[in-house]
Amino acid sequence: MKLKRTKLLVEPPASATSDIAFILIVFFLVCASVEPDKGRAQTLPRSEPEPQKDKQSQNIEVELTRDAVIMNGNPLPKETFVKTIILKLADKAREEDKIVAVKSRKEVPYSHWMDITGIIEDAGGVITLQLEEEQTVQVQ
């Protein structure tokens, strides 16, 4: 005697497909929206068009090239720079003496700039940017 197998319903209910799509979209949105939102705050004094030269000369001057650091005219390896800046800033009590003027050459990448300014701030320094002003000279 042959027994007939009962047919099973294998088709998913069509009414659920939009709900599945909705859940899938929410899942992909959550996955895609993971953006970096952490970082480092930096306090910069407001820009002054004419810096006071007599005060600036007492401050530490750091010049950045593409991959090197020059402090008060002396090129230093990174490890030596870290030690020197900590020592130099440690004996300065007043806030205005802790100002470090950072001058960057045009080709300095952001990653290098952030690295060095981070070291200065961790040592207690206050960053100021020394920018070259554009001047138009008319030649007659």
Partner 1 sequence: MIVKRRQMNASVPAMAMGDIAFLLLIFFVILARARDDSHLQWKPAEGVELVRPATMNASVVIDKYNVTHLNGREIPISTLSEELKVILGENVAGRRTVLLKVHHEVTAVYFEPVIEAISEAGGELHHILEEYKQR
Binding site for partner 1 (CB under 8 A): 15, 17-19, 21-22, 25-26, 29, 32-33, 35-47, 64, 104-111, 113-115, 118, 129, 131
At a CB cut-off of 8 Å and minimum separation 6, what does 95 contact? Answer: 126
Is 4 or 13 the residue whose CB approaches partner 1 more closely? 13
The span from the CA of 42 to the CA of 118, in Å, is 9
Distance of CA 45 to the CA centre of its chain: 17
The span from the CA of 21 to the CA of 31, in Å, is 15
For residue 73, the minimal CB distance to partner 1 (Å) is 19
Is 36 or 77 the residue whose CB approaches partner 1 more closely? 36
**What phi and psi, each to the nearest 5 degrees, are found at residue 101?**
-85, 120
For residue 110, the minimal CB distance to partner 1 (Å) is 5
Is 25 or 90 the residue whose CB approaches partner 1 more closely? 25
For residue 7, the minimal CB distance to partner 1 (Å) is 25
Is 135 or 140 the residue whose CB approaches partner 1 more closely? 135
81, with CB counted inside 10 A (0-12, 13-18, 19+), is buried
The span from the CA of 22 to the CA of 20, in Å, is 5
For residue 81, the minimal CB distance to partner 1 (Å) is 17
